[in-house]
Structure 1
Amino acid sequence: MDGGGETKTKDVGQLGRVTIRTVAAHSGVSVAAVSKVLRNAYGVSDNLRNKVTASIDALGYRPSRSARGLRGRTFTIGVLLIDIANPFLPQVIAGVNGVLAPSNIRAMIGVGQAETQLETSLIESMIDYKMDGVILVAPRLPSDVIATFARDIPIVVVGYHDPGAQNFDTVNCDDEAGAALAVQALLAQGLSDIGMLTVEQKVCYDVSVVQQRERGYRDAMAAAGLAKQARLHRLPENFATHDAALSAFLDDPERPAAVFCWSDLDAIPLLNLAAARGIGVPDQLAIIGYDNSPLGALNLISLSSVDQDGQGLGALATETLLSRIEGRKAALHLKIPPSLVLRRSAG
């Protein structure tokens, strides 16, 4: 009270439960404007964002996820991975979080461990929790199963080449181009006896990065007039047996002079096993991997590798998902260009 009149605003601590309407009144804008800031909608001015953010901080506003779910939005997205041990995946997650950081949207991560039933149940849980959308990273689910889920929740898939999909979006590195970069780099070193280490994949092979990289390798060899010399050395689908298979590859008397590995997951162990056998790299065996993982960049390892920009993939997938959540219907199938980082393993 001041001179018998009531104050126009209450002390923040006396406001009770703070709602989006409280924030709107405090900042002098509409509820719709506050909602736009909360979801980081396109076209929000810095002035509006700063004004609303200041009120949110002053009021201690914390959005109710359950209430949002009842209204159709929870401002959460799910990110489903199949192999948390892959050092490439933290880069993807960093890209997702980088896009979400300015907004009030948060990512919840699930790990499916390449098991179809577990992947399916995790997606169903994300739907049940009314998440706004899902990013699937290299799922092992058939396209028609993903399309069925996409009727209930917006989906973007990373590391899954299905340009004909209509119900969901895909975001990928141009894996064919990445494989070609590796072959071309080895050719530039004067090498022509170039093999490829790849991996058996019985499930979803037709949409996998494995198939794309094999195709890029074959096409690049054919373009160099070496189609008949192209050789695929397939490792078992079970990663637990890869050391034995890599050892057999190194011991093969017809081992090629250079090899492009489908992933750093096998290229780095191959380097290690070659060193244990006294095989000179790159003089006796030149090696190029795929993913440009942080471990491969260490000076003691110095693996040449194709960089598919995991952080860029995560960011683009998130932006694509947000546009789908905002109402876009037409499917998008996007690719980002790879680059090659040359280190000692390939001269």
Structure 2
Amino acid sequence: MNEPKSSKRQGRVTIREVAEDAGVSVAAVSKVLRDAYGVSDTLRDKVRASMGKLNYRPLASARGLRGRTYTLGLIFPDLRNPFFGDVFAGVNTALERTQYQVMQGIGTTIGALAEAMIDRQMDGILLVGPNEAPAYLSELALRKPIVAIGHHDDLTPMPFDTVNNDDQLGARLVVRHLIANGHRKIAMLSLLQEPSTVVRQRELGYRLEMMDQGLGANINVGRATQVARDVQLSVKRMLESADRPDAIFCWTDLMAFEAISVVTEMGLSIPDDVAIVGYDNTMYCDFAQNRLTSVDQSGELLGLQAARLLIERIEGRTEAEHFVVTPRIVARASSRKRG
């Protein structure tokens, strides 16, 4: 009795089979895979159509031996902050029409993750909010193309690219907005642990603008880790103090949402008793229970530009570029003008 033929092909599809299906040479398929110069759009579309039809997947290890794996590493400090989802979306948008795939890792320190990505022959690495010393980042950049998102550094010359929001300006805009809406006792909820360059820039902008507005005596910086319970305790201490602030500027939306929760539980009114402003303008700011005023730093744009710069680095650009997004205030009910 004859065995029925399987409807599914056994084994891995080869480059030769792709060439036969597309009606082109093996060399032509190879050029498309390498994104070689001079490949026509017609040839590229024909080969990619056959690759999709046959479910062809080139071996990353083999591509690495030829000099490129078309994989990028993306390292986040954590995934609790919804802003990182915006950055990730921007990176994916930038890579949609390329051969590159992105692999993500999570860690407050990047050393072990970066080394693992290098060992796996990833072509470049995107770092989000790295806290490492400039010397380490510079050494890493000499071994592998990197782009840092959310990293302010005075190192000159800098051997890697950066993509930043103007964090100091963003904090200044918050203070100006709150003053324009009748607030004077403006506090800032900052980070307790070793702050990143982003946190330092936002805190500096807050302090400078308070002084420029003649409110230096009202400067009040509270600190908390990013653990929810710690944020809640810090906000409660601020609001129970004898010199209670009439507005709190939180260095992220994530902290601001916790602040809104504490204010509500204490029976206080937002913004009549205390205004709340966050930073990142994540999608949750629009929720009716939050209606949070926030600084928009265009997370998707940051991710998109970072991926673009990294690919340019991989392609051979050597001069460092530094892309900066101008922030803007998105005003909502949490900081409306006092009556």
TM-score (norm 2): 0.87
**Inter-partner Cα distance in structure 2 for 1:20 and 1:100:** 27
Question: Does 1:34 find its partner at 2:32?
Answer: yes
What's the CA shift for 1:176?
A: 1.1
Correspondence for 1:314: 303
**Inter-partner Cα distance in structure 2 for 1:66 and 1:133:** 16
Residue 77 (structure 1) aligned to one of 58, 72, 96: 72
Residue 164 (structure 2) aligned to one of 142, 152, 172: 172
Question: Does 1:196 find its partner at 2:188?
Answer: yes
What's the CA shift for 1:133?
A: 0.4
Q: Are 1:26 and 1:55, in contact at CA under 8 Å, matched by a contact in 2?
A: no
Correspondence for 1:53: 48
What's the CA shift for 1:120?
A: 1.1
Correspondence for 2:126: 135
**Inter-partner Cα distance in structure 2 for 1:87 and 1:22:** 41
What's the CA shift for 1:230?
A: 2.6
Q: Are 1:79 and 1:109, in contact at CA under 8 Å, matched by a contact in 2?
A: yes
Residue identity opposite 2:15 in structure 1 = T
Q: Are 1:27 and 1:55, in contact at CA under 8 Å, matched by a contact in 2?
A: no
Matched residues, number: 325
**Inter-partner Cα distance in structure 2 for 1:195 and 1:46:** 57
Residue identity opposite 1:167 in structure 2 = P
Report Cα offsets for 1:190-222 as digits up to 9, x if no partner.
Answer: 2222221212232xx4x5211110111122223
Equivalent position SS for 1:234: strand
- CA 1:280–1:52 in structure 2 vs 1: closer, same or farther (change >3 Å)? same
**Inter-partner Cα distance in structure 2 for 1:221 and 1:27:** 67
Correspondence for 1:181: 173
Correspondence for 1:62: 57
**Inter-partner Cα distance in structure 2 for 1:57 and 1:263:** 42
Correspondence for 1:150: 141
Residue 335 (structure 1) aligned to one of 320, 324, 329: 324
Correspondence for 1:257: 246
Calculate percent identity across the aligned residue pairs: 40
- Mark the runs of 5 or more structure 2 residues left unpaired by the alignment: 1-8
Residue 19 (structure 1) aligned to one of 10, 15, 21: 15
**Inter-partner Cα distance in structure 2 for 1:236 and 1:111:** 18
Alignment of 1:236-315 (within 5 A): 236=225, 240-315=229-304
What's the CA shift for 1:228?
A: 3.5
Q: Are 2:192 and 2:225, in contact at CA under 8 Å, matched by a contact in 1?
A: yes
Correspondence for 1:103: 98
- CA 1:237–1:91 in structure 2 vs 1: closer, same or farther (change >3 Å)? closer
TM-score (norm 1): 0.85
What's the CA shift for 1:287?
A: 1.1
Q: Are 1:163 and 1:170, in contact at CA under 8 Å, matched by a contact in 2?
A: no
**Inter-partner Cα distance in structure 1 for 2:139 and 2:333:** 47
Correspondence for 2:3: none
Residue identity opposite 1:26 in structure 2 = G
**Inter-partner Cα distance in structure 2 for 1:328 and 1:61:** 31
Q: Are 2:29 and 2:47, in contact at CA under 8 Å, matched by a contact in 1?
A: no
